[in-house]
């Protein structure tokens, strides 16, 4: 419903009256859908000022450092709920009752196994294949097991796909890790929590009993929550665009995994740890900060900056606390944390970073925690993808549930040749 309008005039002539629509929070939006009819497109590469959809799932206020899922602040969720409760909230809109939570947990738990034939998919990868490459391939192939359950117009079938994906991503992620280190796959256990089960599938071996550390499980669960959803980021927008064509949910999530892999997005946690290892010692921090500020140097401080947060990423605040908790409870002195803290201090006091509002983001601390837990760097983005699966599928489901949903089909500003005469090769 339009509350007011914007009149677009060019050279003094009004070419379009554009309704201004209000949300429940955040910027109002100018509805430009009729602009094509007036002979114009808007131009916004990178979507710096474009609202691509209407959503009720996650709200971010980048200037105030606010992140809320279905209206619940992220720090309350990270400290007072567990990841499966956050999954329920993202999928269903409100916090569950105890009975609803127990039922949801039971459903997810009973979907954690994968078809035995899926095991063979892994054996096509070389031993040194990146776990993200395995995740991309295997998740996309999951659709081949569920042909009878892929009617995306059926809400129940959409929700069952959501449950299967949330449940099976840890199993597949752990399989990618086990394959990469040449150890046997470990089956999920129904007596463990979501985070405990993932750690069990990652680290247990047939040769001995593996006991999950409650500290590590709690940190893992919090990392899952802090990565669960984040509005219309690149990978979520990828999932929505793929889903808008009617592609099946497993293919859409595989597209999200592929988009998240980039170092500018979810690949930043792996890139951040590689950067900290390259810096190596406190006496080289200034050298790398100088590189990050040098316009002729493509180097950027991984884990810093954000398209939306021009204040501290609220997830980084919680992640920083968790980082210190885990390292002190596990009695780990990690020199990389010292480098990270020095880098954070220098960056937060440096005029370049202050002027460009570059703060540590969610990826800056998660890598240090994951390393402390014993997870290899090449698994960091896999864990991000696992965590974000619920956000991706919640947006996919919301989009398909909206009336009048259309295929996403952006236009362009064309700057190429036009109306050229083609001369056949024989005459050239």
Give 98: exposed, middle or buried? Use CB within 10 Å, 0-12, 13-18, 19+. exposed
Q: Does 292 bind ligand SDX (CB under 6 A)?
A: yes
Structure tokens at 202: 């990652």
Q: Do residues 167 and 189 touch, judged by C-beta distance below 8 A?
A: no
Q: Which stretch binds ligand SDX (CB under 6 A): 8-16, 21-29, 78-86, 263-271?
A: 263-271
Q: Does 188 bind ligand SDX (CB under 6 A)?
A: no
Q: How far is the CB of 3 from ligand SDX (least distance, A)?
A: 28
- Strand ranges for 218-281 from DSSP E: none
Residues that are catalytic: 265, 306, 363
Spatial separation of the C-alpha atoms in residues 65 and 70, rounded to whole Å: 16
Q: Using the 8-state DSSP alphabet, how is residue 425 labeled?
A: G
Q: How far is the CB of 233 from ligand SDX (least distance, A)?
A: 3
Residue (161 or 236) nearer to ligand SDX, CB: 236
Residue 386 sits at φ, ψ, to 5 deg, of -55, -50
Q: Does 223 bind ligand SDX (CB under 6 A)?
A: no
Residue (103 or 278) nearer to ligand SDX, CB: 278
Q: Which stretch binds ligand SDX (CB under 6 A): 16-24, 250-258, 320-328, 360-368?
A: 360-368
Q: How far is the CB of 393 from ligand SDX (least distance, A)?
A: 15
Q: How far is the CB of 337 from ligand SDX (least distance, A)?
A: 17
Which residues in 295-334 contact ligand SDX (CB under 6 A)?
300-308
Structure tokens at 64: 């105030």
Which three-class secondary structure state does DSSP give residue 217?
helix
Which residues in 117-156 contact ligand SDX (CB under 6 A)?
none
Residue (21 or 234) nearer to ligand SDX, CB: 234
Q: Do residues 89 and 77 touch, judged by C-beta distance below 8 A?
A: yes
- Of 135, 173, 241, 362, which lies in the binding site for ligand SDX, with binding defined by CB under 6 A? 362
The answer to whether the Cα torsion of 155, 156, 161, 165 is positive or negative is positive
Residue (298 or 403) nearer to ligand SDX, CB: 298
Q: How many residues line the site for ligand SDX (CB under 6 A)?
A: 21
Instruction: Give the residues across from 19 on adjacent strands.
Output: 5
**N-terminal to C-terminal alpha carbon distance within the chain:** 59
Q: Does 265 bind ligand SDX (CB under 6 A)?
A: yes
Instruction: Give the residues across from 72 on adjacent strands.
Output: 69
Q: How far is the CB of 286 from ligand SDX (least distance, A)?
A: 14
- Of 85, 270, 363, 397, which lies in the binding site for ligand SDX, with binding defined by CB under 6 A? 363
Q: Does 240 bind ligand SDX (CB under 6 A)?
A: no
- Among the listed residues 322, 67, 76, the one whose alpha carbon sits nearest the alpha carbon of residue 217: 322
Residue 155 sits at φ, ψ, to 5 deg, of -55, -40
Structure tokens at 296: 């002729």
Residues that bind ligand SDX (CB under 6 A): 230, 233, 264-266, 268, 292, 300-308, 356, 358, 361-363
């Amino acid at each position: 419903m339009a509350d007011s309008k914007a009149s677009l005039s060019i050279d003094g002539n009004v070419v379009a009256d554009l309704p201004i629509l209000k949300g429940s929070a955040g910027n109002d939006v100018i509805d430009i859908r009729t602009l094509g009819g007036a002979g114009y497109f808007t131009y916004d590469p990178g979507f710096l000022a474009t609202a691509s959809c209407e959503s009720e799932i996650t709200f971010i206020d980048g200037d105030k450092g606010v992140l809320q899922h279905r209206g619940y602040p992220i720090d309350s969720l990270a400290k007072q709920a567990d990841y499966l409760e956050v999954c329920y909230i993202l999928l269903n809109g409100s916090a569950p009752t105890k009975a609803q939570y127990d039922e949801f947990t039971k459903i997810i738990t009973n979907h954690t196994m994968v078809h035995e034939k899926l095991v063979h998919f892994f054996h096509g990868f070389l031993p040194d294949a990146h776990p993200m490459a395995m995740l991309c391939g295997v998740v996309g192939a999951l659709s081949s097991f569920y042909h009878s359950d892929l009617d995306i117009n059926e809400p129940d079938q959409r929700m069952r796909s959501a449950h299967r994906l949330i449940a099976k991503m840890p199993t597949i992620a752990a399989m990618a890790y086990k394959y990469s280190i040449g150890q046997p796959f470990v089956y999920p256990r129904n007596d463990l929590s979501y985070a405990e089960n993932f750690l069990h599938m990652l680290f247990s071996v047939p040769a001995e009993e593996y006991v999950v550390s409650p500290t590590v499980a709690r940190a893992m669960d919090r990392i899952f929550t802090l990565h669960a959803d984040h509005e219309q980021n690149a990978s979520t927008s990828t999932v929505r665009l793929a889903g808008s064509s009617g592609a099946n949910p497993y293919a859409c999530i595989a597209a999200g995994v592929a988009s998240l892999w980039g170092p500018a997005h979810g690949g930043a946690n792996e890139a951040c740890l590689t950067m900290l290892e390259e810096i190596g010692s406190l006496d080289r921090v200034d050298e790398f900060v100088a590189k990050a500020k040098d316009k002729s140097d493509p180097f950027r401080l991984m884990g810093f900056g954000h398209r939306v947060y021009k204040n501290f990423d609220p997830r980084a605040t919680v992640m920083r606390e968790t980082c210190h908790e885990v390292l002190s409870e596990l009695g780990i002195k990690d020199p990389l944390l010292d480098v990270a803290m020095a880098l954070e201090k220098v960056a937060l006091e440096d005029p370049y970073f202050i002027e460009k509002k570059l703060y540590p983001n969610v990826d800056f601390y998660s890598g240090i925690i994951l390393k402390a837990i014993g997870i290899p760097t090449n698994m960091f983005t896999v864990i991000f993808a696992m965590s974000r699966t619920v956000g991706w599928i919640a947006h996919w489901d919301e989009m398909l549930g909206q009336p009048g949903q259309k295929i996403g089909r952006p236009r362009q500003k064309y700057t190429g040749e036009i109306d050229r005469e083609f001369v056949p090769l024989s005459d050239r």
